[in-house]
């Protein structure tokens, strides 16, 4: 027999036998909606807290059949808890020995394994089972099994770092800054991840952003340097210009081989008369001295 979870309880100290002659002298305790057993001289007795009579404890003798004994007539001293909610109205002296259901609630099972079913104040509540209180997870339940997936915040742009904070998606700049420097005498250009220019160069500024790590869609950018002219030629080929005296210079990371999201194209221009190269987001920078060599070499993130 299902019984509600009720909290009202009373304890009575029986000072004299009074109406409990030959039954019990001592301490009796009972809670609303539940029964407690005690043993008297005539056998086992059943204790019940009756919300229908000022929350009095009722005595039901199981040995001789059910009968009620009212302990509110001064034969027992008890704390008055009549202002608490007993949760069930039980008939004075009711016979509980045959398993009568004292629940004030209807059956609350909704046959859904993904809800928690319980009764509160006489009404059913069927609340979702899989709630982790994390606003950055998607809470799912399948056949009673919970899963908590990270809230998707990806915006499809490789130039942002996408995270969830307090239930809201944030998108911050991704990648590392790349700086360009120009030679004070020869006019050549060099690129680095530092604002400090190489020897003989002066700082120009931030030009774009690249990535430290490679990937399936990223390509390595090689900075090919010429010792005599101080020319720095950016290339996706590790050995470009080797026969002309170019070797690998400082690492400036990885870029994308095709346009995605907010990626910008980087063009390579050449000054034939000077033997110098210039990489730029513009296909006409340095004109007419510099001329466009061809289509974009790679794609980087904007400033």
pLDDT tens for 13-64 read 444 333 433 344 445 555 544 445 555 544 444 444 443 444 455 544 433 3
Domain ranges (residues) in the chain: 1-103, 115-149, 176-300
Q: Is the pLDDT of residue 86 over 80?
A: no
CA distance 279 to 269: 6
pLDDT tens for 138-153 read 999 999 999 999 999 9
CA distance 279 to 210: 14
On whether the CB atoms of residues 277 and 231 are closer than 8 A, the answer is yes
pTM value is 0.59
On whether the CB atoms of residues 183 and 200 are closer than 8 A, the answer is yes
pLDDT tens for 100-126 read 344 467 789 999 999 999 888 888 999
Tokens of 303: 């400033």
pLDDT tens for 179-194 read 999 999 999 999 999 9
């Amino acid at each position: 027999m299902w019984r509600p979870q009720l909290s009202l309880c009373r304890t009575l100290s029986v000072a004299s036998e009074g109406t409990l002659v030959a039954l019990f002298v001592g301490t009796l305790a009972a809670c609303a909606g539940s029964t407690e057993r005690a043993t008297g001289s005539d056998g086992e007795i059943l204790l019940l807290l009756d919300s229908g009579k000022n929350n009095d404890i009722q005595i039901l003798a199981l040995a001789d059949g059910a009968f009620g004994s009212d302990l509110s007539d001064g034969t027992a001293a008890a704390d008055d808890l009549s202002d608490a909610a007993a949760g069930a109205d039980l008939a004075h002296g009711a016979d509980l020995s045959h398993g009568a259901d004292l629940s004030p609630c209807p059956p609350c099972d909704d046959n859904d394994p993904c809800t928690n079913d319980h009764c509160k104040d006489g009404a059913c509540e069927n609340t979702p089972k899989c709630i982790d209180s994390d606003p950055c997870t998607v809470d799912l339940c399948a056949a009673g099994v919970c899963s908590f997936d990270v809230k998707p915040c990806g915006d499809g742009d490789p130039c942002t770092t996408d995270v969830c904070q307090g239930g809201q998606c944030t998108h911050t700049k991704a990648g590392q800054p790349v700086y360009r420097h120009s030679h004070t005498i020869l006019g050549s250009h060099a690129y680095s991840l530092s604002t400090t220019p190489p020897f003989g160069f002066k700082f120009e500024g931030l030009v774009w952003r690249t990535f430290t790590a490679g990937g399936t869609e990223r390509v390595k950018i090689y900075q090919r340097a010429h010792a005599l002219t101080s020319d720095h030629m950016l290339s996706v080929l590790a050995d470009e210009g080797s026969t002309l005296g170019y070797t690998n210079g400082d690492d400036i990371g990885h870029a994308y081989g095709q346009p995605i999201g907010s990626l910008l194209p980087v063009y390579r221009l050449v000054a034939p008369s000077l033997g110098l190269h210039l990489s730029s987001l513009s296909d006409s920078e340095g004109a007419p001295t510099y001329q466009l060599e061809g289509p974009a070499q790679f794609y980087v993130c904007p400033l």
